[in-house]
Chain A
């Protein structure tokens, strides 16, 4: 009798796995980043507004920053722009932008029209730096700690919920006393 119950047992096991799979389903489009917990990739790129200057990762060490990949061609980036402006006004974590595979003059005009939430914007014309960060679809936002380690990545438009539930707690936990 026992061995005839095996198929039923195996099936129930499968059902459990599938149930877990469904619970994870909404995240299916999102691939876990291998950068989490590792040092942020180094970069030195021209600044969008002052092309003679360089935006360098070494200069950013020592404080938290949000690395936001965007482009004027990207619809979702327009959607998250209001949130980014609010993040900038909060003044807690600076935003460093990466203008990915974009036209520099169009990007400058875009920021002039919709507002510039960034402390600095690096221009990635070739896409090489974005690849180093494992970017596969704009917008993407990374949270980097003062030691230069990537602690969080968000794919898709940044929302107020993500800011308050995912980013602020991570920043706040390391800086008690500041709200």
Chain B
């Protein structure tokens, strides 16, 4: 009963999404204001239907209804309740439903938050969101229905993939998708502005808070994924330039460029067409990411099951939505000329360089990710691209960006006035260099070429960012949330740079064979192996090793890495034991039984690695802080007197 109800709810949601899109866009275009009132009703109705569908599927999981194919494939009666709930988005169909649900949530938020905007504009925004909703609902109902029944019902389920049986599953996809889906709002705002023929920059101010919040969620989502990979996969790696990771990173890079471009457009009416293009690009990359992980065109550690049919559908959807938006762009962008000027040392300049470098970075990641696909399609052979390509090309864009950041935040709009800041910048740079090199060589006594560079750049950003806020605070002046948020976010970035530099330069990794009672030294710590013993969990049996960790004789921890075998899927997974000690992360993982009680063990010492994820969280907080600034809440509705709108009304 419940699955059928959920299925029906999705069909209703599809119809409501169609109505939402139609009444909004056609209503606004034809000046039928009465149609516009129907839009918010459609939004609410669609949200209720989607929530109902989610609830029905959730109930099937919680109630162990193995007559539903999706539940039978991804759950099991022995699976703990917590994972039964999270398993809902553990595979393709359910994760799509999550996408749709979060899109509905964002749409409701926009409907509520955009009440004070011109009605036709906000209607168009909701209309575009309705189109996107429609596409996803159609895709789900046509190719990926989570409510299909299994006949005869399975006695028990296939169980959730053991790698996913981890708290990370509960948080990573929802938060990541919230970010991903949130860029559809920026996209919708951009499309609405183009549909309306709006030539002024008011839409940029309206779009900013939504985009920054989506960006913050995406930042957290990516960091959570990286953190999860770190302690779950057991290799101590936190970023693999895997196609699916890149699929989330590219929108993030372009999204960062977007929020900076929106700032310029908002403040000075410049870069309007660039901002539009970036909004389209960010969402396009989100959609492209969805395509890549579900269509089977790329080999990846965590793509969903490959199905070319789905790939074709998503591709068609991509062509309609993005192609349509780009046609709008080609139509409207030529009208968006501005006569404002700025000098080379002005803030606008630095933001331009910033955005160009970010887009280039996204471009190199794009090239590397799609290279195997392109090479195959053009019959150039099977190509393989990994970190040896991505790392240097990414650094190539990022190093100049980090250097320019410290200078750019001190530049004034329009006339730069960097001359007044020369001394400040010089002092902060020297202080950063001295501190950075001092710490690197003082604490570690060695390093790679880029180690002092990374440390200096990171510290410079922190010092340079802190100058203005501290100065204002000392003089008793107020500091707007936007500026404070920006400062916090930049400092977060700097912390990430410092942490990454440290981890990449000073990680110790050793694989050793240990007999019980044997001790090995690595990375400044001593490890004594005490053998293995069997252990058991709710749905797995395990072998747990015990290692005593000491630092110059002083006890640090007793770590117990495990090798688990899950009963139903019969998969063997390694559970790493991790200990944080004075900034170092100590990781231990059990390898193979070498016979006679000897086991191979992997030891890794990674300094400051946890700072990376903390830094991402700081960046996200900065974003949320900035988005809550008062200037975004007092919406002044500017008269949309534009040539294009005038002709539209008379048509």
A–B contact, 8 Å CB criterion (strictly below): yes
Q: A18-B315, A22-B308 are in contact. Are A5 and B330 (CB under 8 A)?
A: yes
Contact between chains at A8 and B295 (CB < 8 Å): no
Q: Which residues of B contact A19 (CB under 8 A)?
A: 312, 315
Contact between chains at A17 and B373 (CB < 8 Å): yes
Contact between chains at A7 and B319 (CB < 8 Å): no
Interface check A32, CB cutoff 8 A:
yes
Most buried by B among A1, A8, A32: A8
Contact between chains at B311 and A1 (CB < 8 Å): no
Interface residue tally on B, bucketed by range: 20 to 34
Contact between chains at B315 and A4 (CB < 8 Å): no
Contact between chains at B327 and A26 (CB < 8 Å): no
Taken together as a complex, chains A and B put the C-alpha atoms of A8 and B277 apart, in Å, by 11
Contact between chains at A11 and B322 (CB < 8 Å): yes
Contact between chains at B382 and A31 (CB < 8 Å): yes
Q: A15-B315, A17-B373, A31-B382 are in contact. Are A25 and B295 (CB under 8 A)?
A: yes
Q: Which residues of A contact B284 (CB under 8 A)?
A: 11
Q: Which residues of A contact B280 (CB under 8 A)?
A: 7
Q: A5-B330, A11-B326 are in contact. Are A32 and B382 (CB under 8 A)?
A: yes
Taken together as a complex, chains A and B put the C-alpha atoms of A82 and B308 apart, in Å, by 30
Contact between chains at B326 and A21 (CB < 8 Å): no
Q: Which residues of B contact A5 (CB under 8 A)?
A: 330
Q: Which residues of A contact B543 (CB under 8 A)?
A: none
Contact between chains at A18 and B291 (CB < 8 Å): yes
Taken together as a complex, chains A and B put the C-alpha atoms of A100 and B373 apart, in Å, by 32
Q: A4-B273, A32-B381 are in contact. Are A21 and B376 (CB under 8 A)?
A: yes
Q: A25-B311, A32-B381 are in contact. Are A12 and B323 (CB under 8 A)?
A: yes
Contact between chains at B382 and A28 (CB < 8 Å): no
Contact between chains at A8 and B327 (CB < 8 Å): yes
Contact between chains at B311 and A22 (CB < 8 Å): yes
User: Quick one: closest B residue to A18, CB to CB?
Assistant: B315
Interface check B2, CB cutoff 8 A:
no
User: Quick one: closest A residue to B332, CB to CB?
Assistant: A4
User: Quick one: closest B residue to A20, CB to CB?
Assistant: B377
Contact between chains at A22 and B315 (CB < 8 Å): yes
Output the least CB separation between B157 and chain A (Å). 23
Taken together as a complex, chains A and B put the C-alpha atoms of A1 and B378 apart, in Å, by 31
Taken together as a complex, chains A and B put the C-alpha atoms of A20 and B280 apart, in Å, by 24
Interface check A175, CB cutoff 8 A:
no
Contact between chains at A28 and B326 (CB < 8 Å): no
Q: Which residues of B contact A24 (CB under 8 A)?
A: 297, 376-377
Q: Which residues of B contact A1 (CB under 8 A)?
A: 330, 334
Interface check B108, CB cutoff 8 A:
no
Q: Which residues of B contact A22 (CB under 8 A)?
A: 295-297, 308, 311-312, 315
Contact between chains at A4 and B329 (CB < 8 Å): yes
Q: Which residues of B contact A25 (CB under 8 A)?
A: 295-297, 306, 308, 311
Contact with A along B180-197 (1 / 0, CB 8 A): 000000000000000000
Taken together as a complex, chains A and B put the C-alpha atoms of A114 and B120 apart, in Å, by 75
User: Quick one: closest A residue to B366, CB to CB?
Assistant: A14
Interface check B318, CB cutoff 8 A:
yes
Q: Which of B363-378 contact A (CB under 8 A)?
A: 370, 373-374, 376-378
Taken together as a complex, chains A and B put the C-alpha atoms of A15 and B374 apart, in Å, by 11
Q: A22-B311, A24-B376, A32-B382 are in contact. Are A8 and B297 (CB under 8 A)?
A: no
Contact between chains at B374 and A4 (CB < 8 Å): no
User: Quick one: closest B residue to A31, CB to CB?
Assistant: B382
Q: Which residues of B contact A21 (CB under 8 A)?
A: 295, 297, 373, 376-377
Interface check B513, CB cutoff 8 A:
no
Interface check B333, CB cutoff 8 A:
yes
Most buried by B among A12, A20, A32: A20
Taken together as a complex, chains A and B put the C-alpha atoms of A163 and B311 apart, in Å, by 30
Q: Which residues of A contact B296 (CB under 8 A)?
A: 22, 25-26, 28
Q: A11-B322, A25-B306, A25-B311 are in contact. Are A17 and B377 (CB under 8 A)?
A: yes
Interface residues of A, dominant DSSP: helix
Most buried by A among B297, B323, B329: B297
Q: Which residues of A contact B374 (CB under 8 A)?
A: 17
Interface check B518, CB cutoff 8 A:
no
User: Quick one: closest B residue to A23, CB to CB?
Assistant: B308
Q: Which residues of B contact A17 (CB under 8 A)?
A: 370, 373-374, 377-378
User: Quick one: closest A residue to B284, CB to CB?
Assistant: A11
Taken together as a complex, chains A and B put the C-alpha atoms of A17 and B379 apart, in Å, by 11
Output the least CB separation between A162 and chain B (Å). 20
Contact between chains at B308 and A26 (CB < 8 Å): yes
Q: Which residues of A contact B311 (CB under 8 A)?
A: 18, 22, 25
Interface check B299, CB cutoff 8 A:
yes
Taken together as a complex, chains A and B put the C-alpha atoms of A20 and B333 apart, in Å, by 31
Taken together as a complex, chains A and B put the C-alpha atoms of A11 and B366 apart, in Å, by 13
Taken together as a complex, chains A and B put the C-alpha atoms of A21 and B273 apart, in Å, by 31
Q: Which residues of B contact A12 (CB under 8 A)?
A: 319, 323
Which of B299, B334, B377 is in CB contact (< 8 Å) with A28?
A: B299
Contact with A along B295-320 (1 / 0, CB 8 A): 11111000000101001100100110
Output the least CB separation between B308 and chain A (Å). 4
Q: Which residues of A contact B382 (CB under 8 A)?
A: 31-32
Contact between chains at B326 and A8 (CB < 8 Å): yes
Q: Which residues of B contact A20 (CB under 8 A)?
A: 377
Q: Which residues of B contact A28 (CB under 8 A)?
A: 296-299, 306
Taken together as a complex, chains A and B put the C-alpha atoms of A12 and B306 apart, in Å, by 23
Most buried by B among A12, A28, A31: A28
Taken together as a complex, chains A and B put the C-alpha atoms of A60 and B323 apart, in Å, by 58
Q: Which residues of B contact A29 (CB under 8 A)?
A: 299
Output the least CB separation between A20 and chain B (Å). 4
Output the least CB separation between A8 and chain B (Å). 4
Output the least CB separation between A5 and chain B (Å). 5
Contact between chains at A18 and B323 (CB < 8 Å): no
Q: Which of A10-54 contact B (CB under 8 A)?
A: 11-12, 15, 17-26, 28-29, 31-32
Taken together as a complex, chains A and B put the C-alpha atoms of A111 and B373 apart, in Å, by 42
Q: Which of B274-305 contact A (CB under 8 A)?
A: 277, 280, 284, 291, 295-299
Most buried by B among A4, A19, A26: A4
Contact between chains at A7 and B329 (CB < 8 Å): yes
Taken together as a complex, chains A and B put the C-alpha atoms of A4 and B376 apart, in Å, by 30
Output the least CB separation between A151 and chain B (Å). 19
Output the least CB separation between B434 and chain A (Å). 46
Taken together as a complex, chains A and B put the C-alpha atoms of A31 and B319 apart, in Å, by 30
With A21-B376, A22-B312 known, 13 other A-B pairs at CB within 8 A are A4-B330, A7-B329, A11-B284, A11-B322, A11-B326, A18-B291, A18-B311, A18-B373, A21-B373, A22-B296, A23-B308, A28-B296, A31-B382
* Pairs across A and B, CB under 8 Å, 7 listed: A7-B330, A8-B330, A12-B323, A15-B318, A18-B291, A18-B315, A22-B308
User: Which residues from chain B sit less than 8 Å from chain A, CB to CB?
Assistant: 273, 277, 280, 284, 291, 295-299, 306, 308, 311-312, 315, 318-319, 322-323, 326-327, 329-330, 333-334, 370, 373-374, 376-378, 381-382
Question: Which 5 residue pairs across A and B have the least CB separation, nearest first?
Answer: A20-B377, A8-B326, A21-B297, A25-B296, A22-B311
